Structure 1
C-alpha cells in the first residue's frame, strides 16, 4: 500500500476529537493492509518507529534533518513510496552512526515524498504525531479490526511490548499472547496514588524503594535483565547477574538501588550505571548496587500473573528470600505509620500497599496497588525550554512541563546542578523541533519527577492549572512520556487538596 494512504488516514484521525471515530478510521485502515504492512504501519501511525522493547534508535538531530531538507539532492528516478519503503528507510537510518550517511538517507527519503507524506515522515522523526492516536486508541482499533475482545488485545500487547507484533497476531493469526515468553519483557503493573487512610483491610506494605525497577528473566544458562522501559540492561549489571545465578527458571521483578553505607545514593548515580557500556567493572565498585525483589511472575514453565499476591510472593521467598523487599502485613494505620516513617528514615520514597488477593495486570495502573508518599510528586515531560540569563546564561534552564497529553502545567528552573543544566542543554538541543528568540521547543522525550507545594487553577497554561514552587527532584530516564502523569491525575490531586483546607469558589 502507498504511504500516501497512511498519511490520509492520519489526517482523518486528526480531524476528529471523537474517540469512537478515531477508532473507526484506524480499524478500517488496518483491515485494508497486507500482512507485511501491518507492523510498520501501526508503528508509524503512533510515531514509535521501533517497538518499545527494541534497542534501535534513529538518533537524528534537528540539525541533521534541516540539512537533509535543504540538501538540494534530487533522486535519479521518482517512484511512489509504499509503507514498507518508508519503514525500510527508517531501518537504514538506525543502522548507521555516521551523521553524513544519515543525512543522505533522510534526504533521499524526503525528496521522493509528496508534501502530505513528508509531513508524517517528519512527525515520525520527532516521535510526536499529534493526531490523537494514543496507544490505547490504537489497541482498541486493532481489537475492532480483528473482532477480538479489547481487554485481551491490551493484555497481549503488555506481554509483548510491541504494538506492531500485537497487531500482526490479532489481525492475521487471531491468536493473542496470554502467557509470558521467557526473555520477552512484559510491561510492569503500576500503582495508583494512595494514603495511609486507604488501609481499611489487611494489606501488604512494602518499602517503596528509591531505585530503578527491573525484570529478571532466568534459565539455567541464560540471565537477562530488563529495565522498566523494556530495554535490555544485562551488560550494565554484571553484579546483579551474578547474584541470581542459582535462581530456577523464572521471571522475577524488583528494584536495584545504588547504596553506600546502607543508604540510597541519589537516583542520578543509579542511572549512570544503567547507561554505562564501558569500564563496567570499575563502575560496579564506584556505584555498588543492592537487589530487592518483590514479585515472581513466572516459575518453572508456569505463568503466575493470575495467581494472587500471597501465592506469588510465597513462591518468590522459596528461592529469593535474601533479596526480598522489606514488608509487613497489617490492616492497622497505627502500625503502618511508623513503618512509613522507617522507610523514609532509610532514605526511600514511602510505601507500596498491595491487596493480598491482587493479581498481576501487566501494563495497567490498578487500584489494588497503591503508592503512599508523604510528598506528592508528578512525572512530567519537558516540551520546551527557555535560554537562561545571569549565571544561567548559555543554558536552557527554564523548563516547560507538560502532562502525558501535552498540556503544559508550569515552568521551573529549580532543582538541577550546574553540571545537570549543561547536560540537559546539550540533550534538549538534540531533541529540538523549533525555536524562537527565547525558547527552544523539543520533542517530548525527557521525563522529570517534579515536587511542588500546591496545584492552583490558572488560565496561563493549556492544562488550566499551575504548579506552585515547582522543582525538579529527579531526571527519570527510566520512564518514557507514556509513563508521565495525566491531566486527570492533576485534576484529582487538585481536588484532594481540599480535604484538608477550605475551597474558595472562583
Structure 2
C-alpha cells in the first residue's frame, strides 16, 4: 500500500486555516477523507482535530516545550535525507513516543521526536508542533468533523453523532462509516469499560424557567458540589471513570466496595456523583475532593482522611439492555429497583414553583450547589448539551480555560499567578479577562508546576500554555471590551475552583457569554446613543 504523504495533511490544514466558512471546511475535509485508505482514516481524523488517541484512551505524549526545543535542535543537525513522512508513519511515531515509559524514557522520547523532525519540511514541523500541543488553530472541532464524515460517507449526521456518543472515538466512527456505511454505524454498540460521554446540562435562571421549559411537572435533584463518575460493573469486575473518561478506580476503593456490597445487578452502567464529607457530615470543598482523584499512592490513608459519599442519579445500561433512549422516569424506576434508597440523589417531582424554591433552599442549606431540573420524558444524550437537563445555581459562574499566565510580583513572586482566561469560540479560544484572585498558596504552587508542563511558548513575563486547565470563575459583571477578540471582559473575575474533572471541550462558549451579557439588561438600563 502506498501511504499518503504527511504533506497532504499539511496542505489540507493550510487550506482549512485559510477559510472561515464552515461549509467550505466540511467540503475540504470530506474530499481529503475520500482519498485515504481505510487504515489511514482514523489516524488522519484524530490528527486533524489535534488528537492522537480517542478521548477515552489515557495515553499522552507527555513531552514539554523544552523537550520539543531540544529535539528541534537535534533534528536540524542531521544531514541524511530520509524518506518523506506519511500520515500513518507520523501516527506510529507519536504512538511510540506516548508509550515510552520507565528509565530512560525521557531521552527516548526526545530521540523519537528528533527522528520525526529530521524527516519533516519546515511546514510539516510547524504542523507537528501544533499536533503535539493539541493546538491546531484551523477551526475544526468535533461537529465540523462529523459533518465532513457524513459528506464523505453518505451516512446521516444524526446516526454518526449517536455512534460517537456510544464509542467516544471519532476516528473509529469515521472508519466504520467509510467501510461499512449506514449499516455499520447503526450496528455500533457501547462496550463495557469504554465510558460513554456524560450528558450535559444548560443553565436556567431559576426554578420558574425550568418549569416553563419542561412544560410543568419536572424532577428536581440536588446539584452536588462533587465529582461526576460513571460506574461499570460486569460480573466481579468494577471500574470507575471520571467525567473526563479517565479510569479512577484505584483512587476510589471505598466506592468499589460499596458497589460490590449493595448494587443488585452484576451487569450495569451507573452514573452518579461523589462528594467529600467532613466530620460534621457536611460537604468538604471541591479541592479536597480532587485530592482523592489525584492520589495513586497511599490511597488507604486518603480514604480515611477524606471519606466520600456516593449519590447515584442515572442508569445507562442494565443486564444487556442499553437504556439511553428510555425516558428519565423509566431509567429512575430501574435505578430504584437495583439500588438502596440512601444512595439515590435526593429529589422531588413537582410543577409547583414554591415547592421547588423550598427544595432549592434546602439544598443550599445542606452545603450543595443548587438543583438539577430533569425532564421526565427525556432520553439520555451522551456528550450533548441541551435543555432536557437544566442547572439552577444561585451564584452565576463560568467555566473558562487558562491559555497563558504571568509571573507574579511581591508575595506571589516565583509563581505563575495572573491567569489569562478564555471561552470556547468556533474551534478555538477567545480571551475574556485575567485574574490572580481565588487560589491558595498551595494551589498557586500546583498551578505553576502544571502550567510549565503545558508550556508552548513564553516571553520574559508570560508563559503561553496548551489550553487544558479549566477553572470555574465568579465575576461581578460582563462588560463590552475592545481589548479582547471576544469583545467581552469579566469584571472582578475570581477563581472559585480548579475543575480537574472537566476538559477544555466542556468550557463555556462565547455564545453563552453573550447570553449572560444580554441577561444583565433585564435588571439594568442600557445606555443608548
| TM-score, length basis structure 2 | 0.94
Distance, in Å, in 1 between the alignment partners of 2:294 and 2:152 is 40
Counterpart of 1:117? 124
**1:136 counterpart (143, 146, 149):** 143
Counterpart of 1:354? 374
**Equivalent residue of 1:244, what SS?**
helix
Counterpart of 1:404? 424
Distance, in Å, in 1 between the alignment partners of 2:232 and 2:320 is 12
Counterpart of 2:199? 189
Distance, in Å, in 2 between the alignment partners of 1:408 and 1:77 is 42
Distance, in Å, in 2 between the alignment partners of 1:57 and 1:30 is 25
**Equivalent residue of 2:433, what SS?**
strand
User: Where do residues 191-206 of structure 1 align in structure 2 (5 Å cutoff)?
Assistant: 191-194=201-204, 195-198=206-209, 199-200=211-212, 201-206=216-221
Counterpart of 1:465? 488
Counterpart of 1:29? 32
Q: Is the 8 A contact 2:404 2:420 kept in 1?
A: yes
Deviation string 1:156-203 (CA, Å, 9 cap, x unpaired) is 111111111111111112212554322221111111000222123110
Matched, 1:238 2:274: no
Distance, in Å, in 2 between the alignment partners of 1:60 and 1:505 is 52
Counterpart of 2:288? 269
**Equivalent residue of 1:419, what SS?**
helix
**Equivalent residue of 1:403, what SS?**
strand
**Equivalent residue of 1:461, what SS?**
coil
User: Where do residues 280-299 of structure 1 align in structure 2 (5 Å cutoff)?
Assistant: 280-299=299-318
Q: Is the 8 A contact 1:196 1:333 kept in 2?
A: yes
Deviation string 1:99-120 (CA, Å, 9 cap, x unpaired) is 2111111111001111121111
**Equivalent residue of 1:171, what SS?**
helix
Unaligned runs of 5+ in 1: none
Distance, in Å, in 1 between the alignment partners of 2:523 and 2:234 is 51
Unaligned runs of 5+ in 2: none
Counterpart of 2:91? 87
Distance, in Å, in 2 between the alignment partners of 1:428 and 1:290 is 31
Counterpart of 1:180? 190
Counterpart of 2:276? 258
Tell me the matched-pair count.
Answer: 506
CA shift at 1:77, angstroms? 5.0
**Equivalent residue of 2:164, what SS?**
helix
CA shift at 1:73, angstroms? 3.9
**2:108 counterpart (95, 101, 109):** 101
Distance, in Å, in 1 between the alignment partners of 2:281 and 2:190 is 34
Are residues 75 and 317 of structure 1, via their aligned partners in 2, closer, same or farther at CA, if it must alter by over 3 Å? farther
CA shift at 1:247, angstroms? 3.4
Q: Is the 8 A contact 2:167 2:189 kept in 1?
A: no
Distance, in Å, in 1 between the alignment partners of 2:444 and 2:6 is 40
| TM-score, length basis structure 1 | 0.98
Q: Is the 8 A contact 1:408 1:463 kept in 2?
A: yes
Q: Is the 8 A contact 2:230 2:269 kept in 1?
A: yes
User: Where do residues 407-426 of structure 1 align in structure 2 (5 Å cutoff)?
Assistant: 407-426=430-449
How big is the alpha-carbon RMSD for the aligned residues of Structure 1 and Structure 2? 1.2
Distance, in Å, in 2 between the alignment partners of 1:40 and 1:316 is 38
Q: Is the 8 A contact 1:180 1:298 kept in 2?
A: no
Matched, 1:310 2:329: yes
